[in-house]
Amino acid sequence: MKRDIFNNYTKNVCNLFGITEQEIFLKSKKRNLANARHFLYYICHNRPMEVHEILKYMSDKGYDTCNRSVTYGVTQVSNKIKRDDDYQYIIDKIS
């Protein structure tokens, strides 16, 4: 069930950021792709999904990362939400 939620969130994030599902799972540090992944981590984490579940679903899609990267992404988006109301709107729209 959580896998379906993860897949749905992935589609929503990709649509919002104007990227493909293949791009979000590329090992790329391009800012738009990293931001999209951070948003994905954030909404999954607040679902709540455990970090190990997020890592598993990312790995299943071909993107291997670590706990620290997921935690960092969640923190980054949390900080952006505190500074800019538009980010909360984006989160609400994705969820």
DSSP string, 19-79: --HHHHTSS---HHHHHHHHHHHHHHHTTT--HHHHHHHHHHTT----HHHHHHHHHHHHH
Contact indicator for 82, 74 with CB cutoff of 8 Å: no
The full set of domain ranges for the chain reads 2-94
Sign of the C-alpha dihedral computed for residues 85, 32, 58 and 65 taken in this order: negative
Here the tokens at position 40 are: 């994905």
pLDDT band at 88 (very low <50, low <70, confident <90, very high): confident
Q: What pTM does this model have?
A: 0.93
The verdict on domain 2-94 having CATH code 1.10.1750.10 is: yes
* Percent of the chain topping pLDDT 70: 100
**pLDDT digit string, tens, across residues 33-69:** 999 999 999 999 999 999 999 999 999 999 999 999 9
Task: Please report where in the chains the tokens 């990709």 appear, as a residue.
Answer: 14
